[in-house]
A and B are shown apart, each in its own frame.
Chain A
Amino acid sequence: MSREIAAAAIRGAHNLARQAEDKLARAVAEKGETAAVEFPNTGYYLPVIYAMTGHKVETLADLGPVMDRIRDLLPPPVEAHHWLPYLGPTLDAGMAALFAEEIIEACKYVIGPNPVDGLWLGAADDVILRERGIQFVDGTAPGFAAIVGAAPDVETAVRIARQCQERSLYVFMAAHDHGTSFAEQLAEGGVQLGWDTRLVPFGRDISAAVYALGFAVRAAMSFGGIDGGRFRRNLMYNKNRVFAFVLAMGEVTDEWYATAAGAINFGFPTIADSDIPQILPTGVCTYEHVVSNVPHAQMVEKAIEVRGLKIKVAEVPIPVAFSPAFEGERIRKDDMHVEFGGQRTPALEWLTTRPSGEVEDGKVTVVGPDIDTVEPGGRMPLGILVEVAGRAMQDDFEPVCERQIHTYANHAQGLFHMGQRDIIWVRIGKEAYAKGFRLEHIGKIIHATLHDDFSNILDKVQVTLFTGEADVKRLAEQAVAVYRARDARLAGLVDEDVDTFYSCSLCQSFAPNHICIITPQHPGLCGAYNWLDGRAAYQINPAGPNQPVAKGAAVDAALGQWEKVNQFVAEASNGTIERMSAYSMIVDPMTSCGCFECISAVLPSTGGIMIVPREYPEMTPCGMKFSTAAGTVGGGRQTPGFFGHSRQYILSPKFISADGGFARLVWMPTLLKEALRDGLVRRAEELGLGGEAHLDKIADETTAATEEEVLEHITKAGHPAVEMAPMF
C-alpha cells in the first residue's frame, strides 16, 4: 500500500535533512561560512536547488536558507489512523530530500571525501552537459536509467547495463546495497565505465543520485531555456522530454524511498526488483509511479513500458549489439583484433550515386582477404565503397549520407571508427571478432542505417569492401577527385551567390524562441550543419526542421540583415526577435539554442573579442567560465556583445564582419588556437595581418588571464584591435 511508501519516504527525507545539517555544520566549522561551494566547472550553482527555487548557492552561508526551505518542506510523519492526504506531502518530502542530498554532495567537494574517487565521477561538468545533454533533448538518448543499489550478481548487472546500452539509454549509478554497488559490479565484469559508454557511476552514497537529477534540470535550463526558479516548467520539461526512470536494486531504504519520491516530481518512476508496495494510479508520472517485484530479466523492458518510452532499435543483422550507447567505446590496442587506416594502412570510405540498374540493394561484397586472415592485433588496408541509387538522389546528398558511416559504424559494439573520407581509422575488437563479426557486417550496418535514415531519397544501397592494397589505392584515386570537387562547391560559395538561406529549428522544441539561419559563410552554431547540409536536409525532408529562407531585399548588407530573413526570424521566434544580423555580435546578434561550439564575448577595454570553446573549463578574461557565459547566451536570447557559434565560422570572411571581423580576435585558449592553427594563419595572411606572426599577437591563457592582461599583451604585441574604433 502506498501509505507505507509515503511514511518511509517522509522518514527518509527527515534523515537526509539531518545528515545535510550535520555535514553543513562540519563544513562551516572547518572552512567558515564564506567558503565557496560549487560543483566544479558547472553553471547553474547547485542545479536542483537553483532550478527549483531560483536560489543561487555560492558559499556555505548560502546553504542556510536552503536548510530552512527543507525544514519548511518536510511534512510530519504519516499517522497510523485517519491519516491526512500524503501524496502531495510525500512529493514535497522527496524534493526536500534532493535538496538535502545536493547539500551533502556539495559539502563533500568542500571538506571531502571527494566525490571524484576511483571509478566514481561526481557531478558532470559543463563540457559533458553540452555534449551529452543535447542527446537527451534531440532524442539520440531516449532517456536514462538511474540505477541505485546493486544487482544480485555481476552477470545480472552486466546484462542490465547492456540492455540499457542497446536501447541507447544512459545509466546513472549511485548508492550501494549492503556494500555492493552496481558500478563496481560492472567494473568487475570488465565493462568500460564513463560518459563515453553511457555508463556513468556518480557516487557510492544515495545522495549521489542527486547528480542524475541535477543533470536533468541542467539540460532543461541550458537547452530548454528555462530560468532558475521556474520549477514547474523544468519538472514538466523533464516529464515530457527526458524519459528517465529509477531502477531500485536491492533493499529499498527510507532514504531511497525519499529520493525516489523526489524523482517522481520529475515524472521519473521507480521500478524495483524487491517486494515493496506499488503505486499504480497515474498522474504525476506518465504512467505508474512505483512498480515492484520485477524479475531482473524483465526490468529494463518493464521500466521502458512504465515510463511510456518508445525506443526505435535499428534492426541490424550483425552478431554484436548495436546502439548509440556504444559510440564512445574505445578499443585499446590489446583488445583489438585488427585495425585499418589511422595513417598506418591506406583506408577510405566513399559514397557515390549510380544508375539504378547498376546497384543491387543489400549486396555486400568483400574483395580481398577477410579479417580472419590476420593475427590478432594485425592491420589491413580498407576501402569502403558505397553505391547508392534512388530517383530522388542528388550529388549534394552524397556527403550527407557518407557522413553517417562514421556515426553508425560506432554504434556497433566492438567496432571503432574515427575520421572521414580517406583519413578514417577503424578497429575491430577481439570480443566482436570472437562473436563472429566480419567485414561484411560493416556493409550490413551501412545498408540498414542508410535505408533507415534516408528512405525517401534512397532506393538501393550496395556496399563493397576492398582489402587489397592495390584495390584500395585505386579506389582512393577516384574518391579523392570527388572529395576535391565537393570542397570546391562550398569553398567557392559566398553568401552573395545565393538568394536562399536555410533555417534550422532542430532545437526549437527545447529553445522555443531560437531559430538558426544558416548561410554559406555562417554555418550552424552547433558545427554540424552547413548551408549545403541545410539544403540537402530540406530536400530529403521538405517538412523538416530545415526550411529555405528567401533573402529578400537587403536591409543592411554589412550587418547581414535582409527583409525576408527578418520576417522569417520574427515569425519563427514567436515574435520575440524582430531583427537578426548574420554578421554582427553587437547589433541584433543571432540567438543561440545552447549547442554552440564556441562563445565570443566583447572585451570592451581591448577593442576586441575573446572566444572560448566549450572544451575549455577555466576562467576566461571576460570574468566568466564557458558555463556561466553559456547561461547568458543560450535559450534563444539576443545578448549584444555575446554570441554562440561554430568553430568553423571563426575562419569565415563573414565572421563578425560588420564589427571589424577576424582582426578583433584578441584572446582564445591555446587548445582552440592549435586546433584551428592552419586556418587562422591563412585568414591572417588573407587580411594582410602577417600570417603566423599574428597568432602570437592573439593572447591566450599562457599570456593573459584577465581583460587588463589581454590589453597589456595586445598593446605590447601591436595587435591591430588596439587601433580599431571601439566596438560599442
Chain B
Amino acid sequence: MDPKRLSCDPAAQAMLALMAEAGIETAWDRLEAQEPQCGFGQLGLCCRICNMGPCRVDPFGDGPQRGVCGADADTIIARNFARMVAAGAAAHSDHGRGVAHAFLAMARGEAPDYGIKDRAKLLALAKELDIQIDGQDDKAIAQELGELLLAEFGKPHGTQRMAERAPETRKAVWKNLGILPRAIDQEIVETLHRTTMGVDQDYKSILRHASRCALGDGWGGSMIGTELQDVMFGTPRPRKGEINLGVLKEDEVNLVVHGHEPLLSEMVAAAAADPALVAEARKAGAAGINVAGICCTANELMMRHGIPMAGNFLSQELAVATGAVDLMCVDIQCIMQGLADLVEHYHTKLITTSEKARMQGVEHVPMDEARALEVARTIVRKAIEAYGRRRHEVHIPREKGEAVVGFSHETINYMLGGRFRASYRPLNDNIINGRIRGVAGVVGCTNPKVRHDAGHTGLVRELIRRDILVVTTGCSQIACGKQGLLTPEAAAEAGPGLREVCEAVGIPPVLAVGSCVDNSRILVACAEMVREGGLGDDIADLPVAGACLEHITEKAISIGQYFVASGLLVVFAEQLFPVWSESQVARYLFDEIAEELGGRWAVEDDPVKAAELMAAHIEAKRDALGINQTHERKLYSMEDRQRLAVE
C-alpha cells in the first residue's frame, strides 16, 4: 500500500513506510485484512438483536425482505441507527457523568487536587440554574451545582435543564414532537428498550426517539461535561500550540496521554511540570519531560495549557512507531486494542487508567480522584523508567503544524467585542452583510477507509474558500492543525469576505472549538447567534451546516443526530453512513425529517461536492432570511434611533 494514498499527512506517510518496512501491523493493514467487509452491515440491514437472528434483508429484492420476527428493512435500519445514537450518547454522557462526579467530589473536598479555575463561569452557571449564590461560598455553590447536574443523568421527573438554553422556537418544536429530552440515562435506556425485539416497530417512531436520545447527549450529558470541565480546569481561551508527530522530542521523556477525559491528563500535565520529577528525568539522562496528547485529550490539554498534540485517532500507532514514546497512558474511548501488541515491538510502556477501560495484558494504574496527583506522579515516574529502557534508534518526523486554539463560546463572545462590548454582534452582522456566508461545523474522527485527514481538510479548504467560517472539534480539529489551517495566516486561503473579517478580529478562518464533547459548544454558539438577532428565531433558520466525512464511532452518529434535531443540515460520507440509501429510513433522514425538525442528514463522499452541498444549504437559508438581497445602508434618524434597544 502506498502511504501517500493512506494519509495526506507527510508525518503519517513516513511512519507508515517505516512500519511497513519493519512488518509492523497498523489499522490500515487490519482494514485490508477485513475486506471485503459485510455489505449488509454497512447498509444497516443486518439484525443481531435477538436470537432468532442474525437476520438480514436483501437490498436487491432477491432474498428475504423481513427478519424472523417480521421486522422489515426500515425497522432494522432504524433500530441499528438508534442503538448507535444510544451508544454514542452513552459514551459522551458517561464522560460527562464522570466529570460531574469529580466536580462534586471536588466541591465536597474529597478530591483535593482539583479546584475551581473559572469562578465567573461557576457563578454564571449557578445563576442560570437558579442556584442561590448570594451569601454562599464557592464550594457550597459548586456542591449545589454538582448535585443538580449529576441528577440530570437520572432524575425521575422533568426535562434537561441545559436544554433550556435552546431558543424558544426550538424548544417549542421539541415539545410539539414530544422529544424534549428527559433524564439522560432514561433516554438511553429507553432507546435500548424500544429497539429490542418486538417493541417499537415504526421506523419514524424509533428515529424520533433517537432524536430525543441524541438531544439528551448534546444538550445534556456532553454539555454538562464541557461546562463543568471549564469550571474545574478553566474555560479555554486562545493560545498557541504545535500539532503532529514532530512535537515528540528525541532527548526528553515523551509521555503521551491518549483518550478523552481531562480528569487524568490535567493531573499528568501538572505532575510532569513538578520540578522534582523533572530532576528525576534529568537524572535518567533526559533533557526534560515532554507531555503530548492524542485524540480529544490532546484537544483538551492544548486548549487549556498549550500542551502539544502528537496527532489524532489514526496517529496513535504511528506515534508509538517513532520509538520515541516512553509511556502512553490512556483513559477512555478510541483506544485501539492494537496498541497492546504494538508496544511489544518497542520500549513503550502502555498504561490504562480508567476502571471502565482495561486492556488484556496491559498494566492498569487506576485513576483515583481522591489522590489524582499522586496517581499522575506514579505514571510520570513510570515514563521516566521507560525512558531508561530506550535502546533503539528513534524516528521522529520533523512535521508539526502550528495552531491557535481555544475558541470556546466565551472566547468568541470576548474576542468580538472585548470585555466591555462582548457579543456575537460582529459575527451576525458580517453574516448578514454577506462577508461571511455562513458557518460550518466540521467535526469528528479519522477513519482508515478515507484518506487520513483528507476528508476533513479537503472540505474545510473548500468551505473557507467560499467565505464560510469553519468551527472544528475532535480529530478533525487536529487534522486542520497539522496543515496550518488553525493559524490566523490561513486566512490567506479564505475567500475575500471571510478573510477581511479574520483580519479585523485576528482569527484563523477555522476555529478550534475543542474535543468531541465540546460539540455542545457549537450548540451554545448557535443558540447565541439566534439570541443576538437578525438571523431568524430558530437554529433551523441559521445559515449553518455540519459535516463529518471521516466518521468512525457511534459518538459521531449521536452528534450528527443532535445537530439534525437542533435544526441543522449534517453531511456524512456516503460510504460510511450505515443506512441503505433506497430505504424509507433514508428518505426520512435525508428529507422528511426536515419537516419535523428543520434539520436533515445528507451524504457525500467527495469533499468538494460536500462543500457545495453545504454552501447551497447556507445560501438557501440566507435567501429565506432575506439577507441575500442587497439592502441600501440604513441611515438612522432620531426616531429610528429611539426605537433601538440600548441593551
Do chains A and B interact in one complex? Answer: yes
Query: A residues touching B (Cβ–Cβ < 8 Å)?
Result: 1-3, 6, 52, 73, 78, 81-92, 94-95, 138-139, 142, 224, 231-233, 235-237, 240-241, 243, 265, 279-284, 286-287, 289, 304-305, 308-310, 312, 509
Q: Given A240-B646, A241-B641, decide whether A84 and B239 contact each other with a Cβ distance below 8 A.
A: yes
Cβ B240 vs Cβ A84 within 8 A: yes
Cα A82 to Cα B242 in complex, Å, equals 11
The answer to whether residues A309 and B636 also contact, given A92-B420, A235-B420, A243-B641 and a CB cut-off of 8 A, is: yes
A283 touches which one: B419, B426, B633 (CB < 8 A)?
A: B426
Q: Are B419 and A92 in contact (CB under 8 A)?
A: yes
User: Does residue B155 face the partner (Cβ distance < 8 Å to A)?
Assistant: no
CA distance A643 to B422 in the complex (A): 37
Is A92 touching B418 in the complex (CB atoms < 8 A)? yes
Closest 9 CB pairs of A and B: A283-B426, A139-B638, A91-B418, A86-B506, A310-B635, A240-B644, A85-B415, A509-B642, A88-B418
Question: Considering residues B634, B640, B641, which has the most beta carbons from chain A within 10 angstroms of its beta carbon?
Answer: B641
Partner of B500, one of A6, A265, A281: A281
Q: How far is the CB of B645 from chain A (nearest CB, A)?
A: 7
Binds A, one of B41-49, B257-265, B427-435, B520-528: B427-435
The chain B residue with its CB closest to the CB of A237 is: B646
CB neighbours (8 Å) of A139 from chain B are: 637-639, 641
B416 at the interface (CB under 8 A from A): yes
**Residues B501 and A73 in contact, CB atoms below 8 Å apart:** no
Complex Cα gap A237–B644 (Å): 9
The answer to whether A52 and B638 have CB atoms under 8 Å apart is no
- B416, A283: Cβ atoms closer than 8 Å: yes
**Which chain B residues (401-422) contact chain A, with CB distance < 8 Å?**
402-404, 411, 414-422
B411, B488, B636: the one contacting A310 at CB < 8 Å is: B636
Bound CA–CA A464/B429 (angstroms): 54
Q: By the criterion CB–CB under 8 Å, are A95 and B420 in contact?
A: yes
Among the interface residues A52, A90, A236, which one has the most CB atoms of the partner chain B within 10 A? A236
Does B633 contact A87, Cβ atoms closer than 8 Å?
no
- A236 vs B425: C-alpha distance when bound (angstroms): 12
Whether a CB of chain A sits under 8 angstroms from the CB of B507 is yes
Q: Give A329 Cβ to nearest chain B Cβ, in Å.
A: 23
Question: Is B504 engaged at the interface, CB distance under 8 Å to the other chain?
Answer: yes
Chain A residues closer than 8 Å to B240, beta-carbon distance? 82, 84
Give the residue name and chain of the A residue nearest to B500 (CB): A281
Q: How far, in angstroms, from A309 to B641 measured CA to CA in the complex?
A: 9
CA distance A52 to B418 in the complex (A): 13
Chain B residue with the shortest CB-CB distance to A91? B418
Indicate which residue in B404, B416, B418, B644 contacts A82 across the interface (CB closer than 8 Å). Answer: B404
Closest residue of chain B to A231, judged by CB?
A: B420
Residue B505 contacts which of A73, A78, A86, A309 (CB distance < 8 angstroms)? A86
Least CB separation from B406: chain A residue: A84
From known contacts A82-B404, A232-B647, A281-B501, infer whether A88 and B422 are also in contact, taking CB-CB under 8 Å. yes
Please indicate which of the listed interface residues A92, A139, A265, A284 has the most CB atoms of chain B within 10 Å of its own CB: A284
- Would you call A233 and B646 a contact (CB within 8 A)? yes
**What are the residues of chain B within 8 A of A82 when measuring CB–CB?**
240, 402-404, 487-489
Is there contact, CB below 8 Å, between A85 and B507? yes
Which residue numbers of B lie inside 8 Å of A, CB to CB?
Answer: 238-240, 402-404, 411, 414-422, 425-430, 433, 435, 487-489, 500-501, 503-507, 633-642, 644-647
**Chain A residues in 8 Å Cβ range of B644:** 240-241
Whether A312 contacts B637 by the Cβ 8 Å rule is: yes
**Cβ of A86: which chain B residues have Cβ within 8 Å of it?**
505-506
Cα distance, A87 to B641, chains bound together (Å):
26
| Complex: A699 Cα to B539 Cα, angstroms | 67
CB pair A284–B417 under 8 Å, yes or no, is: yes
Contact (Cβ within 8 A) B402 A88: no
Cross-interface CB contact of B433 among A95, A282, A289, A310, cutoff 8 Å:
A282
Q: Which residue of A lies closest to B487 (CB)?
A: A82
Closest to B497 in A: A281
Q: For residue B647, which residues in chain A have a CB less than 8 angstroms away from its CB?
A: 232-233, 236
Q: Which residues of A contact B416 (CB under 8 A)?
A: 87-88, 283-284
Contact across chains for B637 and A310 when beta carbons are under 8 A apart: yes
Q: Known A88-B414, A236-B646, A305-B633; judge A283-B503 contact (CB<8 A).
A: no
User: What B residues does A284 contact at CB under 8 A?
Assistant: 416-417, 421, 425-426
Say how far A84's CB is from chain B's closest CB, in angstroms: 4
CA distance A83 to B402 in the complex (A): 11
Give Cα A2 to B633, complex, Å.
Answer: 23
Closest Cβ of chain B to A298, distance in Å, is: 16
Known: A82-B402, A236-B646. A282 touches B418 (CB 8 A): no
Residues of A within 8 Å of B504, CB to CB, are: 2, 87, 279-281, 289
Q: Which of A3, A6, A88, A312 is most buried by chain B, counting CB atoms within 10 A of its CB?
A: A88
Q: For the complex, what is the distance from the CA of A81 to the CA of B642, rounded to whole Å? A: 44
A304 to B488, CA, bound (A): 33
One of B238, B421, B633, B641 near A235 (C-beta < 8 A): B421
Q: Name the CB-closest residue of A to B635.
A: A310
Given A1-B503, A240-B645, A280-B504, also A308-B422 (CB < 8 A)? no
Residues of the A chain whose Cβ atoms lie less than 8 Å from the Cβ of B238: 84-85
CA separation between A6 and B505, bound complex, in Å?
A: 9
Of A6, A73, A287, the contact of B633 (CB 8 Å cutoff): A287
Which A residues lie within 8 Å of B417 (CB)? 87-88, 91, 283-284
A668 to B433, CA, bound (A): 57
Neighbouring B residues of A94 by C-beta, 8 Å: 418
A504 CB to closest chain B CB, in angstroms?
15
Chain B nearest CB from A167 CB (Å) reads 12
**Bound CA span A688–B153, Å:** 81
Bound-complex Cα distance A284 to B419 (A): 12
- Contacts A/B (CB < 8 Å), 29 sampled: A6-B506, A52-B420, A81-B489, A82-B488, A83-B404, A84-B404, A85-B415, A85-B488, A85-B505, A87-B418, A88-B415, A88-B422, A89-B418, A92-B418, A92-B419, A95-B418, A95-B419, A139-B638, A142-B638, A232-B420, A232-B647, A241-B641, A241-B646, A281-B433, A281-B501, A283-B427, A284-B417, A308-B634, A309-B635
A87 near B642 with CB under 8 A, answer: no
Tell me, in angstroms, the Cα distance from A78 to B637 when the chains sit together.
38
Asked if B646 and A85 make an inter-chain contact with CB atoms under 8 angstroms apart, the answer reads no
Cβ of B532 to closest chain A Cβ, rounded Å? 10
With known contacts A73-B419, A233-B647, A305-B633, A83–B506 Cβ distance under 8 A: yes
Nearest CB of B to A586, in Å: 32
Q: Using Cβ atoms and an 8 Å threshold, which residues of chain B touch A85?
A: 238, 404, 411, 415, 488, 505-507
CA distance A320 to B477 in the complex (A): 65
Q: Known: A6-B506, A82-B404, A85-B238. Contact between A91 and B635, CB under 8 A?
A: no
Q: How far is the CB of B360 from chain A (nearest CB, A)?
A: 43
Taken together as a complex, chains A and B put the C-alpha atoms of A287 and B504 apart, in Å, by: 13
Q: Given A3-B506, A87-B505, A91-B420, 15 other A-B contacts at CB below 8 A? A: A82-B404, A83-B488, A86-B505, A88-B416, A91-B418, A139-B641, A231-B420, A240-B646, A243-B641, A281-B430, A281-B505, A283-B416, A286-B636, A308-B636, A312-B637
CA distance A289 to B417 in the complex (A): 12
B639 neighbours in A (Cβ, 8 Å): 139
B427 CB contacts on chain A under 8 angstroms: 283
Question: Which chain B positions have C-beta within 8 A of A91?
Answer: 417-421
Query: Of all chain A residues, which has the CB nearest B407?
Result: A85
Q: In the docked arrangement, what's the CA distance between A308 and B507, Å?
A: 27
Interfacial chain A residues near B420, Cβ < 8 Å: 52, 91-92, 95, 231-232, 235, 265
- Closest-by-CB residue of A relative to B643 is A509
Are B415 and A87 in contact, with the CB atoms below 8 A? yes
Give the most central of B421, B422, B425: most A CB within 10 Å. Answer: B421
Least Cβ–Cβ distance between B420 and chain A, in angstroms: 5
B645: chain A residues at CB < 8 Å are 236, 240
Tell me the smallest distance from the CB of B92 to a CB of chain A, in Å: 28
Contact (Cβ within 8 A) A265 B418: yes
Q: How far is the CA of A642 from the CA of B111 in the complex (A)?
A: 57
Chain B residues whose C-beta falls within 8 Å of the C-beta of A289 in the assembled complex: 504
In the complex, how many angstroms separate the beta carbon of A310 from the nearest chain B beta carbon?
4
